[in-house]
Structure 1
Amino acid sequence: MSTPPTPAPPAEAPEEVSADHEKPLIEAARRGDLDAFDALVRRYQERIYTTLYHFTGNHEDAADLTQETFIKAFRALKSFRGDASFFTWVYRIGVNKALNFLKQSRRRRTFSLNDLDERGARDVLRRLVSETTPLRHIGLRELQQRLNAAMQKLSEVHRMVVILHDIQGLPHEEISRILRCNVGTVRSRLFYARQQLQGLLSDLIS
């Protein structure tokens, strides 16, 4: 299985591969074809690793959780019925791994956007705080620290919708399938999270 790469911020929502295109790989992997499963891993590991890194704030933890996600996915392939896409199914496993890790971990819960460059961090801040009002000039390191500190104040479920929507660029409908909740719940969680973040980061608006 491939080693998870260093995370990079996506510029836009990830493009899903059609279910018909993936079906032969999934069927081969079910029969024990490791090369077929590795092809599926390579297709989605970076997106999942990036999400888990943002959630844990630790590269080693994110790498371990990414590996655990795909190990569980491989072992559970026979239970994959195709009701959701493989992307949604494996992402859901990763999200659950992250939430369980944070619940069980005795260490201080962290969050990190330190993999974002200045443009990426400012784009995230605009989506979270204000897409129309100019942002006050602030250095990259301070911007990362402020974003990290603000995100850490959110609950796990609210932080997750922000990560999936505003950072990873997934649409509300996809997030609802990953988190197994309705679209209205996703929208309300995102609205509440943004309200909190706007209060915490409002001084960064010019």
Structure 2
Amino acid sequence: MTRALWRLAEIGLLLLVGFGLATLAGILLYDPPDRSDYAAIVVLSHGAFPDGRLTDQTEARTRAGIALYEAGRAPMLVMSGGQADTDPAPKAVLMAELARTEGVADTALLVEDASHSTLQNALFTARLAPDLQEAPILLVTHRYHGARSVASFWWAGFDDIHFAAADPQDPVWPGTQWEPIKWAGNVVRAAGYSVARAVGVDGPQLDAVLN
């Protein structure tokens, strides 16, 4: 039994090292997007304050998405992020409000306001706009979060995923150190969700597995 536990610990450690390398590769090998024919720019939230202000990371992502939209990279902005216990409103709603103050029209905004994790960002965006799954999309988040975000959207059925960093010059942000653990959590939750769906389980309780 002890040998088996050690073996499991070794496997777990190797996986965490692998996820850490995937995160590092996403940071170091970042290549800015060079296309202008994306169907949508999807901005992933980070957090918000109880008074309605966006955290620095959420604001940076939102402003990066707005800049890409204004540069003509896509005709639509999708804001993705739900409402935590201390949030006055879903983060996607707050992000859309910022976009409107910067001149983005309501007709160019799509709000996904139910997600509480990167996996839910991907899954709920697919449900909200299924046509985007077969179209080129541009994900906007921070470099440390980019590789896991692309993997999450691929898992949710998106075929043509590209990534734009909200921090092209400053790749290290608070939270970077937790990415290997979050990768591991994503893999476990996504696998469990996929198996449950395969055997016919569905509904809000299953979606909550991805929180």
TM-score by length of 2: 0.24
More strand, by proportion: 2
